[in-house]
Amino acid sequence: MAVSVLSSIDVSGFHRTITTSIIVPENADWIQLLEESRCSLQLHYKFPVLVFVDPYELVHYHNFYTFQHHGYANLELPVTAMGSNGTSLLLTLTSVGPQDVKVPVHLRYGEISHSNSETHRTAEIAWPDFFLSCSSSVLKAESFLVSYDSLPGEFASSFEGCSLYVPLQILKADANSSAQFMVVAAPVGQFADLADVWFGTVFTIVAMFLYVAYVSYVTARRLGKRTKAE
């Protein structure tokens, strides 16, 4: 029994969606086997610092999966405040049948570029690891399941007492591509533009302050004249 796992991501924007299509044997034996052994399907994602997920947004996908998140959850941090460590995400799917799993992701603002020719910064997102977590051994499936030994350390405590498996035949690419990662690109600011940005920011703040001060002065004079007239 072969299992196919294919992933893709939206091609543009700071707010994108990763779609992982899981094509499992759509027969009664597969479903019965997983249900009898109390197995669940798991997806483990690892994200570079340029990419992050919003845990509060993932809550809305509770009909499709539950999740555990590891790493920085501060959504406002730029890449420069993240260090070199990315984040990871573990999904427990609510269905054991064929399905399309959607994970919304977002891009952080990249580090300022010192090169005038570099307008975007890229990062690679590996396809998620797919495995089965079973509360009991799957003795009947030894012909098409093997033990899974690449347990993500950050989530190890979640699988205590469980047996982990991965399909013996797992297809992670279609006939047209052997790549098992997705590439994202985010625009970056230019170091040469910093002076203009600082000047523009200061000018805007001063102009708004003067405007508010003027409006307050005019309003105060108008209210003063009204009070004297009464």
Q: What is the pTM of this model?
A: 0.76
Higher pLDDT, 119 or 92: 92
Confidence of residue 138 (pLDDT cuts 50, 70, 90): low
Q: pLDDT tens digits, residue range 32-82? A: 777 777 888 999 999 998 888 988 999 999 999 999 999 877 777 777 777
Q: So where are the chain's domains?
A: 2-188, 192-229
Please state the three-class secondary structure of the chain as a single string: CEEEEEEEECCCCCEEEEEEEEECCCCHHHHHHHHHCCEEEEEEEEECCCEECCHHHHHHHCCCEEEEEECCCCCCCCHHHCCCCCEEEEEEECCCCCEEEEEEEEECCCCCECCCCCCEEEEEEECCEEEEEECCCCHHHCCCEEECCCCCHHHHHHHCCCEEEEECEEECCCCCCCCCEEEEEEECCEHHHHHHHHHHHHHHHHHHHHHHHHHHHHHHHHHHHHHHHC
CATH 2.60.40 applies to domain 2-188 = yes
pLDDT at 135: 79
